[in-house]
Amino acid sequence: MYLSKSKYCLGVQCDKILWLDKHSPEERIETSNQAVLDNGTEVGECAKNLFGFHIDVNFSENLSSMIDDTEKLLKLEKVVITEASFVYENNFCSVDILKKDGNSYEIYEVKSSTSVHDIYLDDISYQTYVLLGLGYNVKKCSIVHINSNYVRKGNLDLNELFKIEDVTDIVFSKQDEVENKIKEINKYMADEREKDEPLGIHCFEPYECPYFNYCTGHLPKENIFKVKRMRNKDKFKYYDKGIITYEDLLKEDIDDKLKLQIDYELNNREPLIHKDKINDFLSTLSYPLYFLDFETYQETIPKYDGIRPYQQIPFQYSLHYYEKDNGPLYHKEFLSEPDIDPRRSLAEKLVEDIPMNVCTLAYNMSFEKTVIKNLAYLFPDLKEHLLNIHDNIKDLMIVFKNMDYYDKNMHGSFSIKYVLPALFPDEEELNYQNLEGVHNGSEAMNSFANMGNLSLDEQNVLRNNLLEYCKLDTYAMVKIYDRLKEVTKLKNKVKVLEKN
């Protein structure tokens, strides 16, 4: 079996990944996101047009046919080939874009990120090693990546959308390193014995290892890697010093909130509720009281004017609200049609649904406020109303972020996906896993982005699934708010502002 450039890069991160893929694939927990892979494919297809006319080597399970097709094309004096394929001493690679001009060759590796990462240099260095080994005169090596500052205006401008960074000197300086790494990988793969590789930051960088649970299976259930509020590199600093268990951590000089999390889980403590602090927060709210949640998606290659790569584009919101204390709960919602710019219609509906000068709750309000602020400056005629909504948003998350209400089942997280089941462990209507089709924000984003490719019947099913998901997000906020009132006995003390 050939060593491909993707396998080589896995070996650079940790060659045990390749060994386990061969000997214990059943232990693998997939960490890659199909939507991310699809995005990379889309970017790659778009970048093929950077140099004008090109000839594509069609993918085949029979790699030899791709290699043969490449050899035929290389007989041309000048040519741009995409997916040109080569093998040298059992090392295989397909070059995203290969420019041939006479006897000189240029390699272009396309990435969907907005900057150059070290692993990309390993990737293109491996490709260069293969071509140099075959005797090709490689003159230039470049990484092609997304320009995050590009804003679409009219037709897509590929020369502005992409940045091309010359990394030739770095690539040639890494050739001995590539050769040595290939030898190391091949030696390990030929060994039937599993090595006891040490854990380290490479378990998460540049990518999360699919075998991390396997490699940490010998550790106690409550260990340093289960701690939420700690950077991975800090976890490994403790791990390398032998500080692994929760008991070990409690003896260290760590953050008070982190110590609280560990103490509560280790000793199975009852919930912590600071009633006075929760009261202080609730006293800042007023009726009518709105609960808002947006869903957004991103486009690496912007389809609409005024959008940057990876900009959050709102396509949906859910809105629950109380007109008065102890009054009935109302609900409104918006979901855009697919394959159109959703921003204007969403903004118009939002200012229709949320009056000016009312209090709005969000969970992690920085996200909602950013979305609204972007809409305000995009649509000057709606700016005053949108900024009024923006300025009157409060953050429900702050109670849990400050640990004014803490339950051991939150496991140190203040995400609503942890807070909700901790507060309502037995309420099935609040269980996201009981929803159909869409269970989290990533699924919502990816589903909407793909909606236009579905049949009308499939779109109708997906629309309902998206609406139910987003509706649960704001209903969850309502339930959390009601619980806060309940535990503080503040039901009759929230300030009431009558609507004009």
Contacts 24+ apart (CB under 8 A), 260-266: 260/403, 260/406, 261/227, 261/228, 261/229, 261/406, 261/410, 261/411, 261/412, 262/227, 264/406, 264/407, 264/408, 265/222, 265/408, 265/411, 266/222
Task: State residue 352's pLDDT score.
Answer: 98
Judged by average pLDDT, the poorest of 6-15, 31-40, 67-76 is: 31-40
β partners of residue 81: 55, 98
Helix segments in 285-401, DSSP class H? 343-353, 365-378, 383-391, 398-401
Task: State residue 493's pLDDT score.
Answer: 42
pLDDT in tens, 125-134: 999 999 999 9
Task: State residue 458's pLDDT score.
Answer: 97
Q: What is the pTM of this model?
A: 0.91
Query: How far is 485 from 273, CA to CA, in rounded Å?
Result: 12
Mean pLDDT for the stretch of residues 368-395: 98
Task: State residue 91's pLDDT score.
Answer: 98
Read off the pLDDT band of 37 (50, 70, 90): confident
Task: State residue 491's pLDDT score.
Answer: 42
Query: How far is 450 from 469, CA to CA, in rounded Å?
Result: 17
Mean pLDDT for the stretch of residues 338-357: 97
Read off the pLDDT band of 38 (50, 70, 90): confident
- Dihedral of CA 462/467/473/475: which sign? negative
pLDDT in tens, 482-496: 999 999 874 434 443
β partners of residue 321: 290, 330
Query: How far is 268 from 261, CA to CA, in rounded Å?
Result: 10
Mean pLDDT for the stretch of residues 416-430: 95
Mean pLDDT for the stretch of residues 149-170: 97
Q: How far is CA 21 from CA 12, 27, 179, in A?
A: 15, 9, 22
The values of phi and psi at residue 173, to 5°, are -75, -15
Query: How far is 387 from 378, CA to CA, in rounded Å?
Result: 12
Say if CB 288 and CB 361 are below 8 A apart: no
The CATH number of the domain covering residues in 276-496: 3.30.420.10
pLDDT in tens, 239-254: 999 999 999 999 999 9
pLDDT in tens, 287-320: 999 999 999 999 999 999 999 999 999 999 999 9
Q: Is the predicted pLDDT of residue 476 greater than 90, yes or no?
A: yes
Laid out side by side, the sheet with 313-322 consists of 329-335, 313-322, 289-297, 359-362, 393-395
Q: What percent of the chain has pLDDT over 70?
A: 97
For 160-301, where are the E strands, in sequence order? 162-166, 272-273, 286-287, 289-297
Task: State residue 36's pLDDT score.
Answer: 76
Q: Is the predicted pLDDT of residue 152 greater than 50, yes or no?
A: yes
Q: What average pLDDT does the structure give for the chain? A: 94
Establish how many alpha carbons lie within 13 A of residue 215's alpha carbon, considering only the half-sphere containing its beta carbon.
23
Domain ranges of the chain: 5-189, 219-266, 276-496
Mean pLDDT for the stretch of residues 114-118: 97
Mean pLDDT for the stretch of residues 140-147: 98
Task: State residue 1's pLDDT score.
Answer: 72
Q: Is the predicted pLDDT of residue 148 greater than 60, yes or no?
A: yes
Q: Is the predicted pLDDT of residue 500 greater than 50, yes or no?
A: no
Query: How far is 490 from 218, CA to CA, in rounded Å?
Result: 48
Task: State residue 271's pLDDT score.
Answer: 94
Residue 196 Ramachandran class (φ > 0 left, ψ -120 to 50 alpha, else beta): beta
Say if CB 324 and CB 493 are below 8 A apart: no
Query: How far is 201 from 191, CA to CA, in rounded Å?
Result: 25
Judged by average pLDDT, the poorest of 16-25, 114-123, 153-162, 189-198 is: 189-198
DSSP H or E stretch at residue 98: strand 91-101
CATH class for the region spanning 5-189: alpha beta
Q: Is the predicted pLDDT of residue 390 greater than 50, yes or no?
A: yes
Task: State residue 31's pLDDT score.
Answer: 78
Joined tokens for residue 268: 């199975």
